[in-house]
Structure 1
Amino acid sequence: MTRSLRARLFIGLTAIILLAGCVGGVFAYIWAFDEAIEMQDSILIQLGSLLQNGSVKSEQSLRGVDADAQVDVVELGTAPRGSAEERQLWSFQDGLHLASRQGGSMRVLLRTRPDGSRFAVAQRTAIRDEIARNMALRTLLPIAALIPCLLLVTALVIARSLRPMVRLAEDLDARRADDTTPLPLAGTPSELHAFIASMNGLLERMTLMMDQQRRFVADAAHELRTPITALSLQAENLAPVDLPAEARERLAALSEGMRRTKHLLEQLLALARHEAGPCSEAAVVPLDRTVKDLVADLLPDAARKGIDLGFEMIEPVATRGEPVMIAAMIRNLIDNAVRFTPRGGRVDIGVYREGNDAIIQIEDTGPGIPSGDIDRIFEPFFRGSRPSEEGTGLGLSIVKRTVDRLEGSVLLKNISGAEQTGLRATVRLPAADESRV
């Protein structure tokens, strides 16, 4: 059984139209058939009246009546005579009767003239029925032509009536995962208002739940940052101490774990700040200077891996936004490129203006992103399908949210060629007037 509301409506209305058309066609056929029979009786009566009054002679009538109707005039005289069929006709009273003549059923009209002579106007019932059927069938042609037109109109009306539901579904599909804006009631059919109200209630409950989750994450990250920082300081204080090799390895593992935990907490706090809304008024941010400062901070990490981190192109360009958020967004992209680029690789950065857009492009020689992960790479806590990958799964989510808030776009594209493989991240932001920095 079909689950489509559109199909069920169309099938139901089609069945009703076909049933109504068939029932109406049967009644129209019967009515038209009876009317055609009565019309032919009227013709016989008119011919009888003309012959009775002497307006038409019987010889003229035999030649003047429509040949397809096969109407015959039988003179019976003033007394019974002739064949048994003619004597039988004489025995009938004036009027319409059914009789047998020449081995077939006939419809006859008996009339008596003023001089006492009688005559019969006869027509074969088979001819009458054939003429009536043809006329009745012609009355069915408009109904037969109307049914396909009604089916087409029904399909169009159903499609148009369900279009608000399709638009509503398209609106929901086009939304971001965190967009809980209530669905509009304006311009929608009243039958959908209860459904939309229920959806808006669900979205409101989801908003409250997401707010509670954000507050919990922010509070937990804030509370954990202090003890983790204290532990990191204690581990740093142990660095000058003369320790056995095994203890030194364990201390290094502990320091690396705390570094990763601290980085996770910073990312969680950054994500909470993004989802809570803008914290300060937007300012003009010089992207070239910001990227230079970030590259200088990450150069030691790149040097330890033997990675060539530098600029392929850098031009003075600025955008408008919150400096801390923009710096965190760019740092995440560069940090990802350095982290996933193998030893001896290269990370090239470009900062330039293209029309009304400020472009930040970061290209590495790493493994790129698996094709199955590219559609989910901006989801929070998604770390990809490679088991060897490290990270919190929040960096690219923060990048996406920051870029969306700045009304820009970010594109990640794998580089696959004979000479180089890797990943190219391109961020487009609305350019601002740098003279106002």
Structure 2
Amino acid sequence: MIRSLRGRLFIGLTAIILLTGAIGGMFAYRWAFDEAIELQDSILVQLASLAQNASFSGGQPLHGVEEDSEVWLIELGKTPSGVTDDRQLFTLPDGLQAAMWKNQPVRMLLRTRPDGSRFAVAQPTTVRDETARDVAFRTLLPIAALIPCLMVVTALVIAYSLRPMVQLAGDLDARRADDMTSLPLSGVPSELHPFISSINGLFKRMRLLRDQQRRFVADAAHELRTPITALSLQAENLETVALPKRARERVATLKQGMHRTKHLLEQLLALARHEALPSGPAGMPLAALDQAAKEAAADLLAEASDRGIDLGFAIVEPLTVHGEPAMLAAIIRNLLENALRFTPRGGTIDIGVYQEDSTAVLQVEDTGPGIPSIDMDQIFEPFFRGSRPEGEGTGLGLAIVKRIVDSLGGGIALENIAGAGRSGLRVTVRLPIAGDLKSSADVGSGA
């Protein structure tokens, strides 16, 4: 069963072309054959008109009219005489006749001259039919050549007619998963308008559901943050109270859980806030990427030192990009926190900020275990912590980074580092650069 619309159209139209060509060819062949027979009859009439007032020796071929036509002029005289065939021909009336002569069927035209003598112009039927078939076959050649040309033209017309559908599918495939903007109807064939309208209606319902979900998550996180903060303060106050060792251990566990819950709520709020941002850097202020990286590294330097991890810059260049400083800080801080969480004691984390062509590159490279290949396809999904989660991660850090990078018109790539005696993960963020190095340096210095 052919499920392709293009295949169905091509096969259907091809069948119509072949059927029409066969029927038309049959009628054309028959028409050409009959026309060729009539043409040869007219030749016999013309030759008879030439021989009407002249006599020739009987049974001689007439060449010059058509070399292979085998036309014969037969003198029958005034009375039946000669061979049996000639006597039989003499008894036939004037006009075009089908007869036998020299043991072969012929087509002949008999005439009587004014002096009473008779003659016949004859041509073998086999020669006439062969000539007619040859003429008729030649009329079929253009039709036979036209059919494949029509099939090619049909395929091209079908491909051109279905191009808007292919382009529409390509546009949908190229979209990000969260891009639910309506498809335009301008420049699209009217036959696709109901289909596109249905897709736009689906996008509208999905946008509504997504917005409701985001509002719910943001509202829930916001409402929970206040009581969690209050509980955290109460847990902090318990440290000044003399408690048994077992109670202090429980309080420490409670504080750890409170800290994890508070961090989760902050990440949920950040995710909801950044998902509400429009995509693209247009209209955003300028911010120094190098300055944001330095500040984020300085904030986490003490934590890295406590864990015995060497955190520093491999390269740093003054670069300016479009974006809020808080957005850049969220990108860098989440990447560094992930690297700190998975890098073992004694490892290193290298930060790179540099320009590559017209792109600002932020690179964070650690000496941790990397990301399993089975997790790569889901690593940017919210709450996905991978097949080997560690620490107090919420599974939202990379989702937030991905959303912010997309909103800034950039891209992010993760690459496992595999070499002799080492492993790790390299995260590369690319953002459109804004301004030259001098203006970037001015922004970074607060000028």
Structure 1 distance, partners of 2:30, 2:105, is 21
Classify the secondary structure of the residue corresponding to 1:326. Answer: helix
- Equivalence for 1:44: 44
Point out where structure 2 has 5 or more consecutive residues left out of the alignment: none
Cα offsets for 1:129-166 (capped at 9, x unmatched): 11100111011111111111111111111111111111
Classify the secondary structure of the residue corresponding to 1:374. Answer: helix
Moved more, 222-231 or 62-71: 62-71
The partner residue of 2:301 within 299, 317, 341 is 299
After superposition, the Cα gap between the structure-2 partners of 1:96 and 1:246, relative to the gap in structure 1 and judged at 3 Å, is: farther
Moved more, 230-239 or 257-266: 230-239
Structure 1 distance, partners of 2:391, 2:157, is 54
Structure 1 distance, partners of 2:333, 2:178, is 24
Aligned residues: 435
Tell whether 2:349 aligns with 1:347. yes
- Equivalence for 1:208: 208
Paired AA for residue 305 in structure 2: A
Structure 2 distance, partners of 1:85, 1:141, is 41
Structure 2 distance, partners of 1:64, 1:164, is 64
Cα offsets for 1:42-101 (capped at 9, x unmatched): 111111111113287767754545341111122211122233332222221101111122
Q: Is the contact made by 2:342 and 2:390 (CA closer than 8 Å) also made in structure 1?
A: no
Q: Is the contact made by 2:60 and 2:73 (CA closer than 8 Å) also made in structure 1?
A: no
Paired AA for residue 442 in structure 2: S
Q: Is the contact made by 2:63 and 2:71 (CA closer than 8 Å) also made in structure 1?
A: no
Classify the secondary structure of the residue corresponding to 1:177. Answer: coil
Map residues 21-420 of structure 1 onto 2, 5 A cutoff.
Answer: 21-54=21-54, 62-239=62-239, 247-277=247-277, 282-354=284-356, 357-386=359-388, 391-420=393-422
Deviation at 1:339, TM superposition (A): 0.7
Structure 1 distance, partners of 2:287, 2:183, is 35
The TM-score, its normalising length taken from structure 1, stands at 0.91
Structure 1 distance, partners of 2:82, 2:356, is 115
Structure 2 distance, partners of 1:339, 1:227, is 27
Structure 2 distance, partners of 1:260, 1:386, is 18
Structure 2 distance, partners of 1:66, 1:424, is 89
Paired AA for residue 297 in structure 2: V
Q: Is the contact made by 2:14 and 2:151 (CA closer than 8 Å) also made in structure 1?
A: yes
Classify the secondary structure of the residue corresponding to 2:74. Answer: strand
After superposition, the Cα gap between the structure-2 partners of 1:137 and 1:401, relative to the gap in structure 1 and judged at 3 Å, is: same
Moved more, 283-292 or 223-232: 283-292
Point out where structure 1 has 5 or more consecutive residues left out of the alignment: none
Moved more, 389-398 or 258-267: 389-398
Paired AA for residue 361 in structure 2: I
Classify the secondary structure of the residue corresponding to 1:373. Answer: helix
Structure 1 distance, partners of 2:321, 2:62, is 105
Q: Is the contact made by 2:260 and 2:392 (CA closer than 8 Å) also made in structure 1?
A: no
Structure 1 distance, partners of 2:51, 2:335, is 110
The TM-score, its normalising length taken from structure 2, stands at 0.89
Deviation at 1:316, TM superposition (A): 4.1
Q: Is the contact made by 2:58 and 2:76 (CA closer than 8 Å) also made in structure 1?
A: no
Identity rate, percent: 67
Cα offsets for 1:261-316 (capped at 9, x unmatched): 222211110111112227xx844434344333322332343334322222233344
After superposition, the Cα gap between the structure-2 partners of 1:40 and 1:220, relative to the gap in structure 1 and judged at 3 Å, is: same
Structure 1 distance, partners of 2:254, 2:366, is 30
After superposition, the Cα gap between the structure-2 partners of 1:43 and 1:183, relative to the gap in structure 1 and judged at 3 Å, is: same
Moved more, 150-159 or 363-372: 363-372
Structure 2 distance, partners of 1:389, 1:159, is 55
Moved more, 21-30 or 219-228: 219-228
After superposition, the Cα gap between the structure-2 partners of 1:29 and 1:388, relative to the gap in structure 1 and judged at 3 Å, is: farther
Q: Is the contact made by 2:108 and 2:121 (CA closer than 8 Å) also made in structure 1?
A: yes
Structure 2 distance, partners of 1:205, 1:63, is 89
Paired AA for residue 254 in structure 1: L
Structure 1 distance, partners of 2:183, 2:102, is 83
Q: Is the contact made by 1:383 and 1:390 (CA closer than 8 Å) also made in structure 2?
A: no
- Equivalence for 1:435: 442
Structure 2 distance, partners of 1:13, 1:276, is 50
Structure 1 distance, partners of 2:368, 2:417, is 9
After superposition, the Cα gap between the structure-2 partners of 1:242 and 1:49, relative to the gap in structure 1 and judged at 3 Å, is: same
Cα offsets for 1:181-210 (capped at 9, x unmatched): 111122211211221122112111211111
Structure 2 distance, partners of 1:389, 1:43, is 106
Structure 2 distance, partners of 1:55, 1:74, is 10
Classify the secondary structure of the residue corresponding to 1:54. Answer: coil
Cα offsets for 1:31-50 (capped at 9, x unmatched): 00000111111111111111
Paired AA for residue 232 in structure 1: S
Structure 1 distance, partners of 2:268, 2:151, is 58
Structure 2 distance, partners of 1:93, 1:58, is 19
Classify the secondary structure of the residue corresponding to 1:413. Answer: strand
Moved more, 268-277 or 405-414: 405-414
Paired AA for residue 415 in structure 1: I
Structure 2 distance, partners of 1:65, 1:253, is 119
Deviation at 1:226, TM superposition (A): 1.6
After superposition, the Cα gap between the structure-2 partners of 1:318 and 1:38, relative to the gap in structure 1 and judged at 3 Å, is: closer
After superposition, the Cα gap between the structure-2 partners of 1:352 and 1:120, relative to the gap in structure 1 and judged at 3 Å, is: closer
Structure 2 distance, partners of 1:154, 1:33, is 31
Q: Is the contact made by 1:383 and 1:389 (CA closer than 8 Å) also made in structure 2?
A: no
